[in-house]
Amino acid sequence: MKNFIKISVLSLIMCLFLSCEKDSKNGNNESRDFIVAFAEQSISYLDIKSTKNISLIFSDVAIESGSVEIRVKATNAEYGSDFETLPAVSDEVLIVPFVKGDKGAEFTFKNIEFPWRRQDMTIQFQIERVNYKGANALIQGYNLMAISFDAALGGILSPAIGGPSQPFQVYVDLGGKATYPIKRDAWDLAFYSGKEDVVKINGAVYMAAGKLAFNDIDKVNEGHVNEMKKLVQIGTFDAANTAYIDHTSGNLDFTAINKISDNDVENNVYLLNLGFLPGTGNVAPGAVNITGDERGWMKIRILKRNDGYLLQYANLNDVTHNEVVISKNEAFNFTFFSLKDFKIVNVEPSKKKWDLNFTVFTNTVDQNGTPKGSYGFSDFIVINRYGGVKAYQVEIPKGDKKFYKQFTKQDIVESHLSSDLTTIGGNWRDVANAKVLNRDVFYVIKDSKGNFYKMRMLGFMNEKGERGYPKFEYSLLY
């Protein structure tokens, strides 16, 4: 996958350390606590073909020598056959020494067999004891660290959607701690790879599609569609215009383009509103600039061919058309096609390698309970419905500041899980008025492998108050 960006979880332990520092101004001369934590919460096994140094960080310089005792638990892996450590593990305990003057410590993890014998191994390291007499020793922050192929313990990620114009969609793999950015105007049509023959349009650029009373694409010209152009748009505040967008839940029974029929004559030509380019230029703090120039109009017709699709496409007044065969690829939810570049393009990661998509989204809106049709939303999150991901929202009791931290796997209500694309959506922020984060909700996410995570948003603006800079934290529930 091109444009792959691997994100290392940045430790926030220093925030805890600062609270323990002495205050020279008020005469507090008591020694500071000596806090120990892992520098990272998770490391991908895929990054370790040979060896990897695992770091521990201290809140202060050690004034005496000491050691850290770490419990090692292996799942589907054997010490001495699949991995080793330096220093060595004895009775499932790894003792990492440090000396006076050290600001941290480390040990070496060694992968013995490459290629790996299997790819479901997980090695968990838990700090159990700090042997140190120089100060009061505490274990805080990341006391647990795991090396795994696809079930990261969690961390903090900042999907790079690009600021106020939000020019990128960013796919997030929670298990792999990875993000995959793609320009949101890089594609137009998404051809479903499942059993059904369905094609979706790109709601991230506010596309719309309307069915015409023609099944010969070459007979359609601009004169046939002038009136329909007024309808095939989003944001018209007409409840009926939802007919021209894909259902916001992701239900493939209700797409703007009808399911493709086995009978060619039943597959009509569609008027395609290509939406807008991402905006350009500066905006006021708290504002967005999602829409730029219009991308224009085209006509398309889609037929079934073998176990795939035949796409016919042309400009509105063209009397001939182009054709391309789109094959299904079961490793992916969809195959994507660009009508700008006239080719298949890489967009989503494989269906089991992403969970969330931070994106601009075509949603529906109402006013005082009255439906007002389709409308564009920024700062939006959709789940990987077609890859098997589900989620639900949890409301935090008022005033309970420990609720999120104390929420465990035992607290999950699986009957609340939903496959609706918009389960997370934009409920976590208010951008209509105050431009604030809703700190009273978080989300439970079940990935395609059956792992459960809790996830909450930490922000969506940068230090200048500019939108388009989301940040979230998540943790594996086990």
Q: Where are the domains of the chain?
A: 34-149, 155-181+353-477, 187-345
How far is residue 57's CA from residue 138's CA, in Å, rounded to a whole number?
12
Q: What percent of the chain has pLDDT over 70?
A: 93
Report pLDDT digits (tens) over 302-317.
Answer: 999 989 999 999 999 9
Cα dist. 39→69, 140, 178, 193, 339 in Å? 16, 11, 18, 41, 46
Please tell me whether residue 105 adopts helix, strand or coil conformation.
strand
Q: Which of 372, 367, 370 is nearest to 235 (CA)?
A: 372
* Other beta carbons less than 10 A from residue 372's beta carbon: 17
Instruction: Considering only residues 320 and 12, tell me which one the structure prediction assigns the higher pLDDT.
Output: 320
Instruction: Read off the pLDDT of each residue in 438-453 and give the average, rounded to a whole number.
Output: 94
131, 93 in Cβ contact below 8 A?
Answer: no
- Which tokens belong to 32? 């500071």
Q: Please, what CATH class does the domain formed by 34-149 belong to?
A: mainly beta
User: For 36-77, what is each residue's pLDDT tens digit?
Assistant: 999 988 888 888 999 999 999 999 999 999 999 999 999 899
Structure confidence at residue 432 (pLDDT): 79
Quote the pLDDT of residue 12: 42
pLDDT at residue 27 tops 60? no
Cα–Cα distances (Å) from 67 to 58, 94, 129, in that order, read 12, 10, 8
Amino acid 9: pLDDT: 37
More reliable by pLDDT, 251 or 115? 251
CA 411/CA 82 separation, integer angstroms: 35
Backbone angles phi, psi at 310, to 5 degrees: -120, 115
What per-residue confidence (pLDDT) applies to 3?
Answer: 41
Return the H-helix or E-strand segment holding 323.
strand 322-327
Residue that is written with structure tokens 């922020």 in the block: 429
Q: Please provide the average confidence, as pLDDT, over all residues in the chain.
A: 91
Q: What is the rounded CA–CA span in Å between residue 159 and residue 7? A: 9
Please tell me the least confidently modeled range out of 20-34, 84-98, 189-203, 296-310: 20-34
CA distance 223 to 231: 15
Residue 178's pLDDT is 86
- pLDDT class for 119, splitting at 50, 70, 90? confident
206 vs 26, more confident: 206
Tens digits of residue pLDDT in 333-387: 999 999 999 999 999 999 999 999 999 999 999 888 899 999 999 999 999 999 9
pLDDT at 151: 67
Kindly state the percentage of the chain with pLDDT values over 90: 79
- 395 CB-side CA count, 13 A: 3
Rounded to an integer, the average pLDDT of 394-420 is: 96
- Going from the C-alpha of 431 to that of each of 285, 312, 394, the distances in angstroms are 12, 40, 20
Q: Using CA atoms, how far apart are residues 352 and 449, in angstroms rounded to an integer?
A: 8
pLDDT band for position 29 (cuts 50, 70, 90): very low
Calpha distance 156→343 (Å, rounded): 35
pLDDT class of 32 with cuts at 50, 70, 90: confident
Can you give the pTM of this predicted structure? 0.77
Residue 31 pLDDT level (bands cut at 50, 70, 90): low
Per-residue 3-state assignment (H helix, E strand, C coil) for 278-316: ECCCCCCCCCCCCEEEECCEEEEEEEEECCEEEEEEECC
Structure tokens at 227: 């009136």
Number of separate helices (H) and strands (E) present in the chain: 3, 34
Do 17 and 59 touch, CB atoms closer than 8 A?
yes
Structure confidence by residue, pLDDT tens digits, 8-20: 333 444 444 444 3
Q: Is the pLDDT assigned to residue 190 strictly greater than 90?
A: yes
Q: In this predicted model, what pLDDT tens digit does every residue of 73-85 receive, in sequence order?
A: 998 999 999 999 9
